[in-house]
Amino acid sequence: MYAQMIDTGLTKVADTADMSDDERAFQARIDDDVRIEPKDWMPEAYRRTLIRQIQQHAHSEVVGMLPEGNWITRAPSLARKAILMAKVQDEAGHGLYLYCAAETLGVSREQMIEDLHAGKVKYSSIFNYPTLTWADIGAVGWLVDGAAIMNQIPLCRCSFGPYARAMIRICKEESFHQRQGFDVMMSLCRGTPEQKAMAQDALDRWWWPSLMMFGPPDAASVHSAHSAKWKIKRLSNDELRQRFVDQTVPQSDYLGLRIPDDDLAWNEDRGHYDFGAIDWSEFHEVLKGHGPCNRDRMRTRVNAWEDGAWVREAAVAHAQKRDARAKAAA
């Protein structure tokens, strides 16, 4: 998803007996589904975990603007150009809500951005894949926004109030994005043979990375138990992945496209689609920085930030001058 492999900094889930009074009271509120607000007492590990998760999510929204922004200047119709610009602008808005939610936990936006640029905090690996053709804009909306929604709808009930509220706003917009992406795919699939081939090629390249967005299999997820207990994460990686596959296969059939997985088949007994093994070595390599676009994405973000430094400094300097003049006049 947009926040993958969140390190809680803990190695095992504590028993109630080992908890302090504060911790027990905190856990009781969580168990009763009472939202935690920024001013409430919370365990340090809960705070740290949330800061990491929310900021990964925020960075993902912002870095995610780049692969799609890549086609704004080349969108093939004015209507599509307007939709794409508005979509990428929405992602900037998502980044902003999330930075604000993280700031309520006592970390500044500048600090978070510096941590991203220093490689201390990650963003979703999906954005390290390139958008090679216009059909990728369709596939990203359909699959990547689709997977993001799947992950994020449960987060609307996350125990931390500001994060849950940000997610409610974000999810509404993401579902538009997904429909718009599907609509791009649809127009390609109903178009010329070249357009249809473009759509199939995009699905071939985006399918597996989309499944990886849900994170490693549950058996290999060390930190999920805490996140579940704290109701930061409410469904497991594998549950979410299965839901995504079940939802997406009929859509792909409707488009007349073929999902690039020979093992994909409906399993009557389970009531779910079975699907093939995911190549986790690719996931881990991309996570380590070896994806096709890791360097480009970071370079673009760092350059944008550094090139904008004089603008931000000037804005601050001007505001100070204005204040000083107002004081002198008063």
Q: Which is nearer to Fe ion, 126 or 257 (CB)?
A: 126
Residue 92 or residue 222: which is nearer to other proteins going by CB?
Answer: 92
Q: 43 or 146: whose CB is closer to Fe ion?
A: 146
Tracing tokens 């090629």 back to the chain, one arrives at: 201
Cα–Cα distance for residue pair 219/225, rounded to 1 Å: 11
Contacts of 91 (CB under 8 A, 6+ apart): 61, 62, 64, 65, 68
- CA distance linking residue 217 with residue 215, whole number of Å: 7
- To 10 degrees, what angle do helices 294-307 and 309-329 make? 30
**Are the beta carbons of 207 and 123 closer than 8 angstroms?**
no
**Shortest separation between residue 60's beta carbon and other proteins, angstroms:** 13
SS3 letters across 172-219:
HHHHHHHHHHHHHHHHHHCCCHHHHHHHHHHHHHHHHHHHHCCCCCHH
Measure the CA angle with vertex 156, ends 103 and 216; round to 5°.
Answer: 90
CB 293 to other proteins: min, Å: 13
If the CB atoms of residues 95 and 215 are measured against other proteins, the closer one turns out to be: 95
- Part in contact with Fe ion (CB under 5 A); list of ranges 71-79, 138-146, 198-206, 214-222: 138-146
Site string for Fe ion, 79-118 (x = CB under 5 A): ------------x--x------------------------
- The site for other proteins (CB under 8 A) is made up of 62, 65-66, 69, 72-82, 85-86, 88-89, 92-93, 95-96, 99, 134, 184, 187-188, 191-192, 194-195, 300, 303-304, 307-315, 317-318, 321
Q: What string marks each residue from 278 to 307 as x (binds Fe ion by CB under 5 A) or -?
A: ------------------------------
What does 145 interact with, of other proteins, Fe ion, none (CB < 5 to 8 A by kind)?
Fe ion
Report residue 73 as tokens.
């200047």
Q: Quick one: what does residue 329 bind among Fe ion, other proteins, none, with the CB cut-off 5 to 8 Å set by partner type? A: none
Where on the chain is the footprint of Fe ion (CB under 5 A)?
A: 61, 91, 94, 145, 174, 177
